[in-house]
A = this chain, B = another copy of it.
Amino acid sequence: MKVLVTGGAGCIGSDLVEALLSRGHHVTAVDNLSSGKLEHVAPFLNLQGFRFVEGDLLDPNLLDGLLRDVEFVYHLAANPDAKFTPGDATDKDLRQNTIATYHVLEAMRRNHVRKLAFSSTSAVYGISPVQPIPENASYPLPISLYGATKLACEAQISAFQNLFSMQCWIFRFANIVGPKTRKIGRTVIGDFAGRLTENPGRLLILGDGRQAKSYLLSRECVEAMLYVVDHAGLPLNIFNIGCQDSLPVNRIAEMVVAAMGLKDVIFEYTGTEGGWRGDVPRFQLDVTALNRLGWKSRYNSEQAVAMAIEAMLRHMGIARYAT
């Protein structure tokens, strides 16, 4: 099958490309390399069934060429940074999530490509009074631009699915971690490792440390997506993708400190309930539907985070893991 992966040079996208290639599919990966990296797809560049295209989904002329003979689109391209920092442009998520997704859907309609899988997020649930959160939870609205624009993508996908007889899979991801998600400062792990490298005696933790979220390894996330696409056959399929539990930020701080071989680190807190404005401080996804379909994560949140810490420290060349 010919498959297009948008955001194919991203952390999850490139893991997905690898899995699709190993299943024998022909894969085109497109990425504007704003956060994706060419090194993530470098190992596949010489493979016959693989093609990489550097391009931006907001370029209206890009997609028609890429969709020729394609049967399935995995649309993972997005602004990956859920955190809005004052001074950021407020239309980044609108453009890279909502409008880019519209371009994908409209190009699929024009080119009669009918199958789409989409990486959404637990952030669409906002501050849910129901925990763990099932897919059909009575949910309030998102509180971040990231979550809001991902919900907008979901809604557009639902409308296109209905109007143009598409078949779609929407995946609401937990926090996805892995050896490639190591950009310092962007994930909680990278944030801690970066700060502790600068000052091994003190660690500033955003929020009150009691934020708790679900984590899943990128490889497992990819496995779950492919499993659901194979086994869920409704016109529109919506699944939470995660593990069964969540992990407090304070525990992650302890894990990073221990992994770096540090002791007596003083934890300091910004003190707000969420790590930043728009942060959902605590959530756990209800993954009953995913489990019932037959897929379950092998690792819990703590194990997934432990592996991500190890990979990050190895990448940073920190001695304990450099051997």
Contacts and interface: CB of A to CB of B under 8 A. Distances in A.
Chain A contact-residue range equals: 35 or more
- The residue among A142, A152, A159, A163 with the most chain B CB atoms within 10 A of its own CB is A159
Contact of A155 (B90, B109, B149, B238): B149
Interface in A132-176: 136-145, 147-149, 151-152, 154-160, 162-163
Interface of A: 84, 90-91, 94, 98-99, 102, 105-106, 109, 126, 136-145, 147-149, 151-152, 154-160, 162-163, 236, 238, 277-278
Contacts of A105: 90
A142 B163 contact: no
- The residue among A91, A149, A152 with the most chain B CB atoms within 10 A of its own CB is A152
Contacts of A109: 90
B148 A159 contact: yes
B141 A155 contact: yes
A278 B162 contact: yes
A94 B137 CA distance: 26
A143 B156 contact: no
B102 A159 contact: no
B163 A156 contact: no
Contacts of A145: 156, 159-160, 163
B148 A140 contact: no
A278 B159 CA distance: 7
B155 A151 contact: yes
- The residue among A90, A98, A148 with the most chain B CB atoms within 10 A of its own CB is A148
Contacts of A126: 158
Given A90-B102, A149-B152, A149-B156, 9 more contacts: A90-B105, A91-B102, A137-B138, A141-B236, A142-B159, A143-B163, A144-B159, A147-B159, A159-B278
A118 to B, nearest CB: 12
A138 B236 CA distance: 17
Nearest to A238: B141
B136 A158 contact: no
Contacts of A139: 138
A127 to B, nearest CB: 9
Contacts of A154: 141
